[in-house]
Amino acid sequence: MVKQRRKAQEELAEIDKQIASLKKLAQNRITDINLTSSQTEETRSLIAAKKEEIELAEKEVENAKTENELIAANQKLKKRNEEMEHLQKLGIEEKENTPKRPTITEKSILETELQNLENAYKERQLIINLNEEKEWQTETQHQMLLLAAEEKYLNNRITLLDNFNTQNKKLDAEANSKKLEAKLKLNEPGKW
Residue 82, domain member (yes or no) = yes
Same domain, 81 and 111: no
Same domain, 25 and 78: yes
Confidence of residue 25 (pLDDT cuts 50, 70, 90): confident
Domain finish residue from 64, 89, 114 = 89
Cα distances (angstroms) measured from residue 117 to each of 50, 63, 102: 45, 44, 20
Handedness of CA 170, 173, 174, 180 (dihedral sign): positive
pLDDT at position 43: 45
pLDDT at position 2: 76
Higher pLDDT, residue 126 or 96 = 126
Same domain, 67 and 117: no
Tell me, yes or no, if the pTM score tops 0.95. no
The proportion of the chain whose per-residue pLDDT surpasses 90, expressed as a percent, equals 0
Contact (CB, 8 A) for 99 and 170: yes
Confidence of residue 190 (pLDDT cuts 50, 70, 90): low
Whether 192 shows a pLDDT value over 70: the answer reads no
Q: Domain of 22?
A: 9-89
pLDDT-wise least confident of 26-35, 94-103, 163-172: 94-103
Tally of CA atoms within 13 A in the half-sphere of 56 that contains its CB:
22
pLDDT at position 131: 79
Same domain, 62 and 133: no
Same domain, 70 and 119: no
Burial label for 43, CB within 10 Å (0-12, 13-18, 19+), is exposed
Phi, psi dihedrals of residue 181, rounded to the nearest 5°: -60, -45
